[in-house]
Amino acid sequence: MNQAHYSIHPATLREICNDDEAAERKIAQLESVGESGDAERISWLRIAGRLVEAEALGWSTLITREGATGAHQVMQPLPFGAVAASLRLAHVLHWMERYSEAEVLFLAALTSAETEANKNKASNAALTMVAFAQQHIGKMYFDQGRFIDALACFHKALAIRQELKSPMDQIESTLQALETTKALMS
């Protein structure tokens, strides 16, 4: 039985699943563990194309993390504890091509992570979130054809990831995004 995993499509920069049945098993397994599996489940629902479910769970998680109201109003400023939830939901909205809504969440997450990083210079967690925000904002700009803006975000993400000595898959993902974007611009 295959394990669910994904790769990044070289032309679209989107995650693609290796095995749809394995992904569905992974989603069911994450649902069975309850709230502790929700963060990863949002990502797998998105990758599996179950965007409406991913959005609903994303809002629920963001509300639980006190990053939004029940009426889906994003808290300003966004609490640092809600940054990851905001990024996950923004990523779903991006894939739904609801770019303005995604951008609000992405930028709220970026601002919160940058504020936390500035307050606590030793916070690798905050800088890691800044890098994730930059990477995914860049991917959203990429999908909108805003390649110069995407490149700027990817360069920022790469600099942070290299400084932090982030896992190689994260650095490689950013390098791939830079390469793909530059190729489309030439």
Rg (CA), the chain: 16
- Please report how many Cα atoms fall inside a 13 Å half-sphere around the Cα of residue 88, on the Cβ side: 27
Give the residue extent of every domain in the chain.
6-185
**Band (118; pLDDT cuts 50, 70, 90):** very high
Instruction: List pLDDT tens digits, range 8-55.
Output: 999 999 999 999 999 999 999 999 999 999 999 999 999 999 999 999
Query: Helix, strand, or coil here: 77?
Result: coil
Fold (topology level) of 6-185: 1.25.40
Average pLDDT over residues 114-143: 96
Which pLDDT tens digit goes with each residue over 164-175? 999 999 999 999
Please give the structure tokens belonging to residue 180: 């793909």
Q: With contact defined as beta carbons under 8 Å apart, do 129 and 170 qualify?
A: no
Task: Answer for the pair 37, 31: CB distance below 8 angstroms, yes or no.
Answer: yes
Q: Could you check whether the bond before residue 77 is cis, i.e. omega within 30 degrees of 0? A: yes
Q: What is the pLDDT of residue 31?
A: 98
